[in-house]
Amino acid sequence: MPKGGRKGGHKGRMRTYTSPEEIDAQMKAEKERKKTEEEEGASVIDNQSEEKLSASGSEDSDDEVSGKRKGVEGLIEIENPNRLAQKAKKVTEIELELPKQLSRREREEVEKQKAKERYMKMHLAGKTDQAKADLARLAIIRKQREEASRKKEEERKAKEAAQAAAAAAAKGIHSLSLK
């Protein structure tokens, strides 16, 4: 059973068939129409070729095509830039010496990279606000570490002195008890 559960054509319509006699009549009418168009086109082309021979000979090739145009196209001249055929460029015609025009996004990207490089150079030289703040913070940390190491050294010396005093006191007690 076909999709939708119905027999017949699209949206419930019944199919209609063209009889062979109608097809033959349509074919004959089409052939006659083509013959009359060709005869008219040949006369137009003959007229154009005579005009070209009498003219200077440097006209566009659009005149040749105008005889084959359909409908109103032959009567109205249309200048549509999108309709022009693209001309293929030869390799020798391509100019490689000219600088390539960058798009807006590419230009912005290049400018962004250059700005970043400039900032990094200034940052390494210590000329930016952030670099100055980092150097100040680093100086404070160095002072704190120096003080911490000085205190540790003093504590170590004090501890050694205390141990030496304790050892000397222990020797003194030991020497008194032996006598």
Predicted confidence at residue 57, as pLDDT, reads 46
Residue 8 contacts residue 14 (beta carbons within 8 Å):
yes
- Which residues in the chain land under pLDDT 50? 1, 56-66
- Picking from 30, 14, 33, the residue whose alpha carbon sits closest to that of residue 22 is 30
Q: Are 102 and 110 in contact (CB under 8 A)?
A: yes
User: What pLDDT does 96 receive?
Assistant: 67
How confident is the model at residue 89, as a pLDDT? 74
User: Can you give the pLDDT at residue 85?
Assistant: 72
- Characterize 3-29 residue by residue with b for buried, 16 or more Cβ atoms within 10 angstroms of its Cβ, and e for exposed: eeeeeeeeeeeeeeeeeeeeeeeeeee
Distance CA 41, CA 35 (A): 10
